[in-house]
């Protein structure tokens, strides 16, 4: 079953990621958000990531009360504003609560936010692999408690995805070794430049985290694929793409391809280390072309005029997965989608600094910032807070439109050109000189 069906997504659905500093780091959550936008561009989704650095599960789930300020919960501040259809919650890193309390608090999430008065899907993302707490409060124990909670709430509105089973042991064994999970650079990670690999990893840590969570949710891996026969100039099969203007011979040719989805967008700084530690990340999704019936030789492949690879006839006949490409117009398009999403989220895509939206008077940015000092700001709740958020939400409409346009697949022309003919590796000559073979000087 496609993940969109598991989550009950329809055209215009709203998704929201909430959490503590792991979410406000704007990496794993952005990677997951972009997966939804690029996999389902036809659904016109809205996906938002808002969290509170330092918050603990008990302070997020329970109402906040004091002698001065009225009762409030963080979800009222971050969730109701956007009225999401699906809520992804990554909490539980902070605080010192027992496994039983951990489970009880997530039950309160479900009871208070999903059943009444709302109708929403609720996804517990669990805690990411970090240093285990005291006995009985370890990551594994908390993950088990979350899984038990889901099993005790049949009906499909409470889902659970965690990363421990897939990446946990490897993560803890390697975080301080040669493969750098932290891996910051001087640009995008200024937001948490002093991060640590246990609590605040860099892209090399957040990429496998997002991959593991999506995998646990059963995310489908087919972006699109096609199989063509060059010798007969025919289409054998295709999945999630349409082939047109097919003009192939045994020595190459052209065709147009319109995909229904686009491959995943991640920060390229971090991809190599993520794949080195978790090899399955490298070719996780299938964005492939298979071309049979080509003459023996080596072929240059272009997309939209840009060279994207060189493959032998044997490699093309076996199928070429283009998911790990870091060149060409498709890769440039999905990287542009990552930039557009970060602009939407108010994050400078180069420096990682906060961006102020035109309608923002800093109130919204402050209340959604890392600081906890606004927790009990009496002007930041209920109707007053909504009044501050309304122009901010309205301002997001244009940024959302830019993002969605960036995620829309467009037809691409692929050109296959033979550059070396004959059995590869056996002293063959460039194809253009083939007629001279055997001539004497």
> Where among 151, 185, 219 does a domain terminate?
219
For range 217-234, the mean pLDDT: 97
- pLDDT-based confidence at residue 61 (cuts at 50, 70, 90): low
Q: What is the pLDDT of residues 295-346, one digit of tens each?
A: 999 999 999 999 999 999 999 999 999 999 999 999 999 999 999 998 888 7
- Read off the tokens for 33: 């958000």
Q: Say whether pLDDT at 224 is over 80.
A: yes
Q: What are phi and psi of 159, to 5 degrees?
A: -125, 160
Does some domain include residue 57?
A: yes
Q: Same domain for 140 and 274?
A: no
Let me know: does 224 contact 411? Beta carbons within 8 Å.
no
Do 94 and 127 belong together in one domain? Answer: yes
Assess if residue 105 is contained within a domain.
yes
Q: What is the pLDDT of residue 25?
A: 73
Alpha helices in 3-98, H assignment, sequence order: 3-6, 21-24, 28-39, 57-61, 74-78
Residue 96: inside a domain: yes
What is the rounded CA–CA span in Å between residue 332 and residue 145?
42
Looking at the predicted structure, is the pLDDT value of residue 92 above 50?
A: yes
> What are the CB-based long-range contacts (under 8 Å, 24+) for 43-47?
43/4, 43/9, 43/10, 43/11, 43/12, 43/13, 44/11, 44/12, 44/404, 45/9, 45/12, 45/13, 45/14, 45/15, 46/12, 46/13, 46/14, 46/15, 46/82, 46/400, 47/14, 47/15, 47/16, 47/17
Are 201 and 288 part of one and the same domain? no
Number of CB atoms found within 10 A of residue 235's CB: 16
Model confidence pLDDT, tens digit, residues 8-30: 999 999 999 988 877 877 789 99
402: confidence class by pLDDT, cuts 50, 70, 90: very high
Q: What percent of the chain has pLDDT over 90?
A: 44
- Whether pLDDT at 409 is above 90: yes
Domain limit, last residue, from 219, 246, 265: 219
Instruction: Give pLDDT tens digits for 243-252.
Output: 999 999 999 9
* Alpha-carbon span 35 to 342, nearest angstrom: 14
pLDDT of residue 193: 45
Question: What local confidence, expressed as pLDDT, does residue 198 receive?
Answer: 54
Q: Would residue 396 count as lying in a domain?
A: no
Give residues with Cβ within 8 angstroms of 203, minimum separation 6: 27, 183, 188, 189, 266, 267, 269, 270, 271, 274
Shared domain check, 156 and 28: yes
Assess whether pLDDT exceeds 70 at residue 368. Answer: no
**Are residues 212 and 227 both part of a single domain?**
no
Confidence of residue 53 (pLDDT cuts 50, 70, 90): confident
Judged by DSSP in three states, 344 sits in: helix
146 and 229 share one domain: no
Judge whether residue 76 has pLDDT over 70: no
Query: What mean pLDDT do residues 216-223 have?
Result: 96
Residue predicted with more confidence, 351 or 33: 33
Which pLDDT score is estimated for 136?
A: 61
Between 224 and 374, residue with greater pLDDT: 224
Residue 405: the pLDDT is 97
Q: Is the domain of 181 the same as that of 226?
A: no
Residue 357 predicted with pLDDT over 60:
yes
Instruction: Please spell the DSSP secondary structure of 373-418, one letter per residue.
Output: TTTT-TTSSHHHHHHHHHHHHHHHHHHHHHHHHHHS---EEEEEEE
**Which domain does 161 fall in, by range?**
7-219
> How much is the pLDDT for 236?
98
More confident residue, 364 or 311: 311
Number of domain units in the chain: 2
192 & 271 share domain:
no
**How many Cα atoms within 13 Å fall on the side-chain side of residue 369?**
15
Beta strand residue intervals within 64-137, DSSP E: 86-90, 121-124
pTM of the predicted model, to two decimals?
0.88
**Are residue 240 and residue 285 in the same domain, yes or no?**
yes
Q: Which of 24, 25, 80, 74 shows the shortest CA–CA distance to 50?
A: 24
Count helices and strands in the chain by DSSP H and E runs: 14, 14
Is the same domain home to 25 and 154? Answer: yes
Pairing status of strand 222-229 against strand 286-292:
parallel
* 363 within some domain: no
Reply yes or no on whether the pLDDT at 231 is more than 90: yes
pLDDT tens figures, 134-184: 556 788 888 889 999 999 988 788 999 988 888 888 877 776 665 667 665
pLDDT tens figures, 94-146: 777 888 988 888 888 787 776 655 678 889 998 777 655 555 678 888 888 99
203/273 same-domain check: no
Residue with more model confidence, 273 or 407: 407
Q: Which residue has the higher pLDDT, 184 or 46?
A: 46
**Residue 208 and residue 231 in one domain:** no
Q: How far apart are CA 71 and CA 65, in angstroms?
A: 5
Residue 385 lies in a domain: no
Which positions ≥6 away from 344 have C-beta within 8 Å? Answer: 396, 399, 400, 402, 403
| Residue 332 maps to a domain | no
Last residue of a domain, one of 192, 219, 246: 219
pLDDT (0 to 100) of residue 129: 73
CATH number at residue 152: 3.40.50.1110
- Residue at 353 is within a domain: no
* Helix, strand, or coil (residue 176): coil
How confident is residue 73, by pLDDT bands cut at 50, 70 and 90? low
């Amino acid at each position: 079953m496609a993940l969109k069906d598991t989550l009950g997504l329809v055209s215009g659905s709203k998704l929201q990621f909430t959490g503590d500093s792991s979410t406000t780091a704007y990496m794993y959550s952005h990677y997951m958000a972009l997966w939804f936008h690029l996999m389902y561009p036809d659904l016109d989704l809205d996906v938002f990531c808002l969290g509170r650095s330092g918050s603990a599960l008990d302070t997020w789930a329970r109402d906040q009360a004091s002698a001065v300020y009225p009762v409030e919960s963080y979800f009222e501040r971050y969730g109701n504003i956007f009225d999401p259809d699906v809520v992804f919650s990554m909490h539980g890193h902070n605080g010192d609560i027992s496994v039983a309390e951990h489970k009880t608090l997530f039950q309160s999430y479900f009871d208070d936010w999903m059943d009444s008065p709302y109708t929403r899907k609720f996804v517990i993302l669990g805690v990411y692999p970090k240093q285990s707490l005291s006995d009985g409060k370890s990551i594994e124990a908390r993950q088990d408690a979350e899984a038990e909670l889901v099993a005790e709430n049949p009906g499909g509105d409470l889902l659970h995805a965690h990363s421990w089973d897939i990446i946990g042991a490897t993560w803890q064994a390697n975080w301080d070794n040669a493969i750098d999970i932290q891996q910051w650079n001087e640009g995008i990670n200024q937001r948490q430049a002093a991060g640590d690999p246990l609590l605040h990893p860099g892209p090399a840590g957040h990429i496998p985290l997002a991959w593991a969570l999506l995998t646990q949710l059963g995310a489908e891996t087919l972006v699109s694929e096609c199989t063509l026969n060059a010798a007969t100039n025919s289409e054998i099969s295709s999945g999630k793409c349409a082939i047109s203007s097919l003009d192939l011979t045994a020595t190459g040719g052209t065709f147009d391809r319109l995909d229904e989805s686009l491959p995943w967008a991640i920060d390229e700084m971090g991809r190599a280390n993520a794949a080195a530690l978790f090899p399955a990340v490298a070719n996780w999704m299938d964005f492939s072309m298979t071309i049979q019936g080509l003459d023996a030789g080596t072929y240059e492949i272009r997309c939209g005029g840009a060279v994207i690879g060189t493959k032998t006839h044997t490699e093309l006949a076996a199928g070429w997965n283009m998911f790990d490409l870091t060149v060409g117009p498709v890769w440039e398009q999905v990287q542009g989608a990552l930039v557009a999403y970060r602009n939407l989220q108010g994050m400078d895509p180069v420096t990682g600094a906060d961006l102020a939206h035109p309608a923002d008077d800093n109130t919204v940015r402050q209340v959604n910032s890392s600081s906890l000092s606004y927790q009990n700001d009496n002007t930041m709740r209920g109707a007053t807070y909504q009044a501050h958020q309304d122009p901010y939400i309205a301002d997001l409409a244009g940024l959302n439109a830019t993002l969605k346009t960036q995620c829309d697949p467009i037809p691409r022309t692929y050109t296959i050109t033979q550059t070396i003919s004959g059995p590869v590796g056996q002293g063959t000559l460039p194809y253009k000189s083939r007629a001279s073979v055997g001539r004497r000087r």
